[in-house]
Amino acid sequence: MRNDDEHRGGEPVAVRVIGPPVLHYVKVTGAILALFAVLALLWTARTVCVTVFLGLFLAAGLDPVVRRIQRVVPRRGLAVLLLVTALLVVLALLLAIVLRPAVTELRQLAGELPGLFDRISAKGGPLGSALDQRELRQHLQDAVKELPKVIGGSAKAVFGIVKGVASAAAMTATTFILMIYFLLAWPRMLARLERALRDPERIAVAHESLGKVGGYVTGQACISILAGAAAYAFLKIAGVPYPSLLAVVVGICDFIPQIGATLGAVICTLTALGESLGVAVATLVFFLVYQHVENYLIAPRVFSKAVELSPVAVFVSALFGVSVGGFVGAVIALPLTAALKVVATYLLRTYRPATD
């Protein structure tokens, strides 16, 4: 209120301004402090929050598969058990067929690093000619020779590597267990969400958003496995070294939207360049053809209408995902963006001012 003068009986009377009570400021301060305390707690337990989020994300992605299994096996628990068993069998096959040879090839690569440059130089070709320069080859050989000393000579570095591997394994196992719990409780969680939203249109928007996540996760997993298998078959036939290891790299890179397939192709082409220029050109041509087949034939059929985003939106969301969460952020950025697009469209349609 303003300090004005009111006239009563011809005499000015001062009006006193009454501001908010002290209790109001105490409540506001307490709310701000509580918000900062919650944010600090979440930051301290950010690893746990990421694990829970990934479990929930995977559950949302695999729920459509569970519902398809329930058409044959009505019980939810039995359908989840069948899905988990199938995932473990696929994982065991990957370990036996691909990952074990990949680990062996990685050890072989580590053992061959000191003399690798000499062998590439002896084969000739563009890469061999470049490595034939004495100064460049000497610098690379010195760096390779010093790398085992740095890693092996530092107990702290070795402990850090072991700790990182153990932490990643524990996080993966915890995420898998949380995914199973969320899959079992998914119908109850959806029922509570529907009761909270109440409005039928909001419920439809929530289901559509979750459908975007589910369609993307299952579709991208199939596409990445197919890309890795195709890369392994070609690299094995073409005689490119370390085909199993490169196939794993291609499959993992294919999860990253926009730039992942290109990154995998570049790594494989550079590796093939160590053999000969012809093998490198053939590898590059194979990946160019396969990426066109994947982009125009495989991906549209697999994703269908799961992700309806422009190429610019896909690229920007991938950049934000990488900057925020690294590889995991890049993987989940696209389905989250697609889901948020559904929610944003509903909000704009509902709350924008009415026009003639």
pLDDT in tens, the chain (356 residues): 444 445 555 555 555 555 567 777 777 788 888 888 888 887 787 778 888 888 888 888 888 888 889 888 888 889 999 999 988 888 888 777 766 776 676 666 666 555 555 555 555 545 545 545 555 555 555 555 555 554 444 445 445 555 656 777 788 888 889 889 999 988 888 888 888 888 888 888 888 888 777 777 777 888 888 888 899 889 889 888 888 888 888 888 888 776 778 888 888 888 887 777 888 889 999 999 988 888 777 776 666 555 666 667 777 777 777 777 777 777 777 778 888 888 888 888 776 655 54
Token digits of residue 233? 């078959």
Residues 242 and 272: beta-carbon distance below 8 Å? no
End-to-end Cα spacing for the chain: 38
| Whole-number Å distance between alpha carbons of 300 and 13 | 78
- Whole-angstrom distance, CA of residue 30 vs CA of residue 45: 22
Supply 159's token pair.
């402990």
Q: Of all helices (H) and strands (E), which one includes residue 95?
A: none
**Torsion angle, alpha carbons of 101, 106, 107, 113, to 10:** 140
Query: Roughly what angle, to the nearest 10 degrees, separates helices 200-238 and 260-273?
Result: 10
d(CA 287, CA 304): 23
CB atoms near residue 144 (< 10 Å):
15
Which residues have CB under 8 Å from 225's CB, separation 6+? 251
Please state the pTM of the whole predicted model.
0.64
